[in-house]
Structure 1
Amino acid sequence: MEQDDPRFRITPLQQMAASTSGALITSCIVTPLDVVKTRLQAQQKALLSNKCYLYCNGLMDHLCPCNGNGQGPSSVAAMLKKPTHFNGTLDAFVKISRFEGPSTLWSGLGPTLILALPATVIYFVTYEQIRNRLRAYVAKPGDGLAQQPLWVAPVSGGMARVWAASIVSPLEMLRTRMQAQKMSYLEGGRALGNLMQQQGVTGLWKGLGATLLRDVPFSALYWLNYETLKSKFNQPVPTFQFSLLAGALSGSVAAIITLPFDVVKTHQQIELGEKQIYSNPPKTVNGRNSTMKVIKKIYSQSGVSGLFTGLVPRLVKVAPACAIMIATFEYGKKWFYEQNMAMFEMQKSKANLLIVKTGNNRNHVQ
């Protein structure tokens, strides 16, 4: 029987606790994969623009194409023995670790943790609250809440993602910048400050449109797949192992379909560096069609493969991330639900005992 008895249903605070531990573990495990994905996508953007999007100081040369004239990023990289190009996921792991140090693979872990905790808490709690209310709204008298309409999961997931992504978008931009450039926290803060001076507060939400185009369909597909698997395999209260497998599979399918929007989001957010350095920066694409224009540009210069840059590290990241998060969350929900049941039974026993004692005392007095 699913955990829907309103007497024992876990509270929003308990939902927050159930999602926090998963967010911490997931962030530490998948940050290196996120760094590699961001570097590969940033490298592609530099090659498309045919120039460095930031000045050549030996730190950002991996985002600049080689010019072969003894000047610019290739010569700087040669002097500092830093990589100028990554040939794939494994090559990026090896070169980043060798030339920049293994700790670079955890660049932006601080912002990732600051981002992951509130984003995860907001996302999972909102999803649970919306899902429970939608199920209660469509449930017929006497049917209970065991049967969930197919559309409830994707609608709940999409709405929860819009809310969570909008709130944490500035932190997402800071994390992307730090991963793409090996920025310090101070440099990242200055970069965001400069952006606010140039574009106002709304500049902190640059790339939010592409983020929502990526995350909302991802969330809708993910929860649709996950809830469908739970129903198909009769797992109303899934085991930890089932949640791991179902979460990984559901996340992988959603990640493949929405990857082009992840590429666009990275391209839009790293334009921050171009605007800070160039006197005549590339024209920023704005408006409703900005995302589609970026997609068309990438497709015209790199083909379909360009829209799926970073597919391997994204899959390697998303699969374990989704598996760990949902398994931890489901386990936490089950644990808190059982604790609530135990507490209810204990309070019920105490109440019955009190009634018995009161009745005995009355009989004794009589």
Structure 2
Amino acid sequence: MKGKDDPTAGITMPQQIMASSAGALLTSLIVTPLDVVKIRLQAQSKPFIKGKCFVYCNGLMDHLCVCSNGNSKAWYKAPGQFRGTLDAFIQIIRNEGLKSLWSGLPPTLVMAVPATALYFTFYDHFRDHLIPILHGNTETACLIAGATARLGSVTIVSPLELIRTKMQARPLSYKELTLCIQTSVAKDGWLSLWRGWGPSIMRDVPFSAMYWFNYELGKKWLCQRYNSPEPSVLISFLAGAASGSFAAFVTIPFDVVKTRRQIELGELEVFNDSRRRATATWKVMNTIVSESGFKGLFAGLLPRLIKVAPACAIMISTYEFGKTFFRKLNAEKQLKPL
């Protein structure tokens, strides 16, 4: 039974899913323009050639994208005249329209919303189950539940990511896609659908564990500091931004490895390339250090922090607000007959 102080007491699982889905949608809408601008700035300094893979992220999930046309699609246009982030925003809006800042949003939402809803809902229920087992140790329960929930969601989404990459490379009917998957499984076994799973786990599971552990601590500290009996939207926002930034900083080396592995795997999948490349996480790290030095493991730290901090803040504050809203709604419904 859920206690009085339980964050999920008084709400149903469908309501939790609705709250987390709303958070995922809002986060994607706000953060996607930042990534579109980042990709365009990258493309202008080093243009994407046809068939080249790159990583697209909305702050919640990473997606591997294939450049199918270097000249016409808004994602890949790079006239070489952006002087910075603000200038890129202004020129994209002026020359291509406001909607260009949300290029690629629909396919991202197809995976991000259900995966995020699954992750947050599973996390809440597993944490609630662990707290009495751990004799009320909420922080430890959050750490274990966060790691486990991310492990499950990454494992479920990983095969879909490879399938999506194949479909982006060239138009495939469902029959052709099924045949493509069957061929891959027959050749390399079912585990071939989880290529790239290792680096994703190495980054996402520690990130999730640290995020939820520090979020709980930060939320409690802010509530005590401002004498708030319950976390407000602002408290959730600040705690989410701080905990997300810390987790992003600690796990950035694994993010760099994951990005390189994702791109390599995508190109191998797209072109049916049989070349063998370094697959072990530590081998990839050694390659990066030998090529760029130790600082190479922290490449892209600032853009990652700029994206992750607001994404975590918006997602968790929207989710907490949604749960509070449904909790009050359900309480009013129960009191209405009385």
The two structures have a TM-score, normalised by structure 1, of 0.69
Which residue number in structure 2 is paired with residue 17 of structure 1? 18
The residue identity in structure 2 corresponding to 1:166 is T
Instruction: Give yes or no for contact 2:166–2:269 (8 Å, CA) kept in 1.
Output: no
Aligned ranges 1:145-156 → 2 under 5 Å: 148-156=137-145
Question: Between the two proteins, what is the percent identity of the paired residues?
Answer: 43
**Corresponding position: 1:304 with 2:275:** no
Partner Cα separation in structure 1 for residue 33 and residue 52 of structure 2: 18
Aligned ranges 1:34-49 → 2 under 5 Å: 34-35=35-36
The match for 2:134 among 135, 138, 152 is 138
Number of equivalences: 308
Structure 1: give runs of 5+ residues left out of the alignment. 64-75, 140-146, 350-366
Instruction: Report deviation, 1:31.
Output: 2.4
Instruction: Give yes or no for contact 1:41–1:310 (8 Å, CA) kept in 2.
Output: no
Instruction: Report deviation, 1:258.
Output: 0.8
Which residue number in structure 2 is paired with residue 324 of structure 1? 314
Instruction: Give yes or no for contact 2:130–2:141 (8 Å, CA) kept in 1.
Output: yes
Which residue number in structure 2 is paired with residue 292 of structure 1? 282
Superposed CA deviations along residues 24-67 of structure 1, whole A, max 9, x for unmatched, are: 111122224345667899999xx9xxxx9x9x54x74999xxxx
Instruction: Report deviation, 1:318.
Output: 0.8
**Corresponding position: 1:342 with 2:332:** yes
Larger mean Cα displacement after TM superposition, 27-36 or 149-158: 27-36
Instruction: Report deviation, 1:339.
Output: 2.0
The two structures have a TM-score, normalised by structure 2, of 0.74
**Counterparts in 2 of 1:112 and 1:62: CA distance versus 1, 3 Å:** closer
Partner Cα separation in structure 1 for residue 275 and residue 142 of structure 2: 41
Instruction: Give yes or no for contact 2:11–2:323 (8 Å, CA) kept in 1.
Output: yes
The match for 2:276 among 263, 266, 283 is 283
Instruction: Give yes or no for contact 1:89–1:312 (8 Å, CA) kept in 2.
Output: no
Superposed CA deviations along residues 134-176 of structure 1, whole A, max 9, x for unmatched, are: 112233xxxxxxx544311111111111111111123445677
**Corresponding position: 1:127 with 2:123:** yes
Instruction: Report deviation, 1:303.
Output: 1.6
SS in 1 for 2:336: helix
Instruction: Give yes or no for contact 2:165–2:266 (8 Å, CA) kept in 1.
Output: no
The match for 1:217 among 201, 206, 213 is 206
Larger mean Cα displacement after TM superposition, 323-332 or 86-95: 86-95
Partner Cα separation in structure 1 for residue 177 and residue 108 of structure 2: 17
**Please, what is the CA RMSD of the aligned residues?**
4.2
Aligned ranges 1:22-101 → 2 under 5 Å: 22-35=23-36, 56-57=49-50, 60=52, 90=85, 97=92
**Counterparts in 2 of 1:282 and 1:312: CA distance versus 1, 3 Å:** farther
Superposed CA deviations along residues 200-241 of structure 1, whole A, max 9, x for unmatched, are: 553332211111111111111111111001222335621011
The match for 1:110 among 106, 112, 131 is 106
Superposed CA deviations along residues 315-359 of structure 1, whole A, max 9, x for unmatched, are: 111111111111011111111112222233335x2xxxxxxxxxx
Partner Cα separation in structure 1 for residue 288 and residue 82 of structure 2: 18
Instruction: Give yes or no for contact 1:22–1:325 (8 Å, CA) kept in 2.
Output: yes
The residue identity in structure 2 corresponding to 1:242 is I
Partner Cα separation in structure 1 for residue 54 and residue 261 of structure 2: 18
Instruction: Report deviation, 1:314.
Output: 1.4
Structure 2: give runs of 5+ residues left out of the alignment. 56-69
Partner Cα separation in structure 2 for residue 332 and residue 154 of structure 1: 23
Which residue number in structure 2 is paired with residue 264 of structure 1? 257
Which residue number in structure 2 is paired with residue 240 of structure 1? 233
Partner Cα separation in structure 2 for residue 240 and residue 346 of structure 1: 27
Instruction: Give yes or no for contact 2:123–2:146 (8 Å, CA) kept in 1.
Output: yes
SS in 1 for 2:289: helix
The residue identity in structure 2 corresponding to 1:307 is L
**Counterparts in 2 of 1:163 and 1:277: CA distance versus 1, 3 Å:** closer
